Structure 1
Amino acid sequence: MSSGSDSKPGFRQRFCGGDHLVGTFIKTPATHPVEIIGGVGFDFVIIDEEHAPWDRVTIDAALLAARASGTAGLVRVAEPTPSKILSVLDDGATGVLVPHVSSPAKAREVAAACRYRGGKRGFSNTTRAGRFGAVGMWDHVAAADRDVTLIAMIEDPEALDEIDAIVATEGLDGVFVGRGDLSVALQASGMDAPEIVGACEKIIAAAKGVNKPVAMMVANADEARRFRAMGVSAFIVSSDQGFMRQAALKAYSDIAAVGAR
């Protein structure tokens, strides 16, 4: 998140405006994957604190790498708590992906943690977010409230019962449909099972009803086209580790096949 004013729209403005955005998860706690993926042209990366071995120091460095490579650096925080959210926002995260937002009360809590005015975010401008004190108090507050992106993960069955109230929460910018967690929780046969497709349709419809964007993880372009037609605008594909495995598997298979001839 930049505390200055840029002439081009920032990530939050693009996300909330429904721009077609492409991102990926970063699982390896190092700066290089962020730099490489940012250099390719990805619109955003999501540092995955929830499911990978990130800590405060490595997240801090990765967010600097995101800035250096010109990609938006978001963090999927390990827990949906104000302290986790505050730490990564102070480190300069463009925004947060918050897991298990399963009720309107939780949505309000995490929204408050992201906002100064009308919220409860702890103040400090002596962080990267405040350019280490170079930005004055109220300029920093204004920039943070303008630019920080909050995306709630809808991945619990109980969230489906209150989805309209969750997505309508003030300060919540959009939602991510967690098909994997929903599939496990509902004991579905797979992420394309009828009950999961129905859950996706319900979440997307609720978000459309309040003009908020939806993010989705997709396996390929065909899946992206299908969900784009349903109203999804932000797409997350694979991860740095997934890309590495895919490329390594192809390289190994290609060269190993030479010896089999």
Structure 2
Amino acid sequence: MASPSPADSFRTRLQRGDLLVGSFIKTPTLHATEILGGIGFDFVVVDEEHSPFDRQATDAALFAARATGAAGLVRVPTAAAHHILSVLDCGATGVLVPHVASAALAAQVAAAARYRGGRRGYSGSVRAAGYGGGRMADYIAAADAATTVVAQIEDPEALEEIDAIAATPGIDALFIGRGDLTAALAAPSNDSPPIRDAVARIAAAARRAGKPVMVFVGGMAEATWLREVGATAFVHSSDQGFMKQAAARALAEMRALGQPGA
């Protein structure tokens, strides 16, 4: 499938504040990505941090994303440069990097994801480069323009540097990690007052830096609140979450056949 024009790229749409809907991919096959991309999800996030993805499984999921026209992001397991390079070479649209707790780390992440002014390692033979044959300078320019780098803010110490993290050149968006913030702050839930305060601080820093906000949501109630705060890119549930919800509903409906009066 042809790459989108710069005006329609995921990075451009994210930066201009389009409403974007995606989901986590937790199952290491290409099928869930193919299904979600095929029905029109804007993007998927292959979750290497919390799911059993190896490089081959990630490669397959990214192939499916490209085939359906969905943007394929990867939540890498760490901020290490080799993790970022691996998924970008496989053709990822961008990376979601966990535990970006300082401006110094944000700068390292941004550098690892880009060639010019950065430290991304070059290979012209990978999927991202069209398996060779093109001009190196053209590929590098296109890759730097399209690669999307999202910093996940999920540590209390990140809140102390949030303005500097948000303002880091090369960081395209902030992802608010309410789950880890809830655990770290010993909050009773991911929408309790301490978490709402943290969300507001992160969103305000993003506004000051002119950066979009990405969030995970389990349903419309959370999405409505976080949309009001300023989020524009929503990771709604996951392939496993959708399957479990649909299966539970179908099972309940079928069990009802055995009830009196059914």
- Normalised to the residue count of structure 1, the TM-score between the two structures is 0.97
Residue 225 of structure 1 corresponds to which residue in structure 2?
224
Q: Would the alpha carbon gap of residues 17 and 7 (structure 1) be closer, same or farther in structure 2, given more than 3 Å must change?
A: closer
Residue 24 of structure 2 corresponds to which residue in structure 1?
25
Aligned amino acid, residue 151 of structure 1: V
Map 1:69-148; keep pairs closer than 5 Å.
69-148=68-147
Shift of 1:193: 1.0
Shift of 1:170: 0.4
Map 1:137-216; keep pairs closer than 5 Å.
137-216=136-215
User: Which sits farther off after the overlay, 172-181 or 222-231?
Assistant: 222-231
8 Å contact kept, 2:6–2:12: no
User: Which sits farther off after the overlay, 64-73 or 217-226?
Assistant: 217-226
Residue 14 of structure 2 corresponds to which residue in structure 1?
15
Equivalent position SS for 1:153: strand
Which 4+ runs in 1 deviate beyond 6 A?
Answer: none
CA distance in 2, matches of 1:7, 1:178: 29
CA distance in 1, matches of 2:56, 2:240: 20
Q: Would the alpha carbon gap of residues 160 and 7 (structure 1) be closer, same or farther in structure 2, given more than 3 Å must change?
A: closer
CA distance in 2, matches of 1:63, 1:20: 22
The superposition leaves residues 5-62 of structure 1 with CA deviations (integer Å, 9 ceiling, x where unpaired) of 6275100000111110000000000011001011111000000000000000110111
Shift of 1:136: 1.4
Please say if 1:60 is aligned against 2:59: yes
Structure 1: gaps spanning 5 or more residues: none
8 Å contact kept, 2:6–2:146: no
Shift of 1:224: 1.3
| Percent of aligned positions that are identical | 55
Equivalent position SS for 1:121: coil
Structure 2: gaps spanning 5 or more residues: none
CA distance in 1, matches of 2:115, 2:164: 22
CA distance in 1, matches of 2:250, 2:153: 37
User: How many pairs are equivalent?
Assistant: 260
CA distance in 2, matches of 1:5, 1:192: 37
CA RMSD across the alignment: 1.3
Shift of 1:222: 2.6
CA distance in 2, matches of 1:42, 1:215: 15
CA distance in 2, matches of 1:157, 1:122: 32
Aligned amino acid, residue 36 of structure 1: I
CA distance in 1, matches of 2:129, 2:55: 17
Equivalent position SS for 1:132: coil
Q: Would the alpha carbon gap of residues 138 and 5 (structure 1) be closer, same or farther in structure 2, given more than 3 Å must change?
A: farther
The superposition leaves residues 122-173 of structure 1 with CA deviations (integer Å, 9 ceiling, x where unpaired) of 0112100000013211011101110000000000000000000001000000
Please say if 1:250 is aligned against 2:249: yes
CA distance in 1, matches of 2:19, 2:244: 26
Q: Would the alpha carbon gap of residues 32 and 178 (structure 1) be closer, same or farther in structure 2, given more than 3 Å must change?
A: same
The superposition leaves residues 175-220 of structure 1 with CA deviations (integer Å, 9 ceiling, x where unpaired) of 1000000000010000111110000000000000011000011121
